[in-house]
């Protein structure tokens, strides 16, 4: 661990030096944030057998990977869902991501059409690149903010990052804002550039719930916020992003107050709660 940490710090210092020479403060801040996340990440204990070693995993085909994960996780996962949420695998699911606190919440609906949602777990995000604020262009190293949907076609069990699913960036809003970039994932491993890395063990549980929900309800909403959008936190929000962040607040508040996942549209280039 010590060797890995020293290597990581050395690499990031070198990258920061290069970015500084390029006069890019944004890139420097992004690399510093990345380093701090890697160094302070705390693992989440889960009640499942550990994933195979990376070399063995890389040699598996997608179907073999899924069979392996299902064999190791499903018996306990059914118990976890019942205990934490009184839900079953395959019910609608919903993800909220908070960049500032590096958290991913996985919610499951107690019955299809119900307004009752149960929180399966709040996972620590191992790493995401960039700082608070939306992704605006390809290569800016930013993780996006906004409202997305995962469908079955966006699942990737053959990922180089253990397992992964694409959140659907850019969405209609991003396209209206002329934002560029693609392939923004929630995935395994502990490294990420523009995506959300969860570690191999954690992504397995998330992936199985998302996969089952996609089969049952067609898609899984993913809401990415810079922080928990309380009145108090918004008072100290950076002016550069305040106007955009104010568009996210109504969506955040609907779920906080009503435990309802709102339909989100785009009208006149702005997010609109329907």
Catalytic residue IDs: 187, 195
Report which secondary-structure segment, H or E, holds 82: helix 62-85
Distance CA 149, CA 59 (A): 30
**Paired strand residues for 185:** 166
Instruction: For residue 198, give the nearest of 24, 43, 67, 83 by alpha carbon.
Output: 43
Distance CA 203, CA 146 (A): 21
CA distances to 49, 223, 266 from 236, rounded to whole Å, are 43, 21, 26
Report which secondary-structure segment, H or E, holds 109: strand 103-109
Report which secondary-structure segment, H or E, holds 132: none
Instruction: For residue 17, give the nearest of 28, 8, 9, 6 by alpha carbon.
Output: 28
Q: What sign results for the dihedral spanned by CA atoms 109, 111, 113, 116?
A: negative
């Amino acid at each position: 661990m010590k060797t890995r940490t020293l290597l990581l710090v050395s690499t990031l210092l070198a990258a920061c030096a290069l970015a500084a020479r390029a006069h890019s403060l944004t890139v420097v801040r992004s690399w510093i944030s990345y380093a701090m996340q890697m160094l302070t990440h705390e693992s989440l204990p889960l009640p499942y057998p550990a994933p195979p070693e990376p070399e063995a995993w890389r040699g598996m085909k997608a179907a073999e990977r899924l069979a392996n994960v299902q064999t190791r996780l499903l018996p306990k996962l059914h118990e976890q869902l019942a205990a934490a949420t009184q839900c079953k695998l395959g019910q609608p699911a919903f993800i909220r991501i908070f960049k500032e606190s590096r958290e991913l919440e996985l919610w499951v609906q107690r019955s299809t059409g119900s307004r009752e949602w149960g929180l399966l777990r709040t996972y620590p995000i191992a790493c995401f690149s960039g700082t608070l604020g939306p992704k605006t262009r390809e290569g800016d190293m930013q993780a996006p903010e906004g409202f997305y949907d995962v469908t079955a076609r966006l699942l990737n069990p053959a990922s180089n990052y253990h397992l992964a699913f694409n959140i659907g960036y850019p969405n209609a809003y991003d396209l209206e804002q002329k934002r560029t970039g693609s392939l923004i994932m929630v995935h395994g491993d502990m490294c990420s550039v523009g995506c959300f890395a969860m570690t191999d063990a954690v992504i397995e549980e998330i992936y199985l719930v998302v996969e089952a929900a996609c089969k049952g309800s067609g898609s899984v909403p993913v809401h990415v916020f810079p922080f928990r959008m309380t009145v108090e936190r918004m008072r100290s929000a950076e002016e550069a992003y305040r106007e955009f962040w104010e568009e996210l607040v109504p969506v955040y508040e609907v779920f906080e107050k009503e435990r309802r996942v709102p339909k989100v549209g785009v009208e006149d280039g702005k997010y609109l709660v329907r």
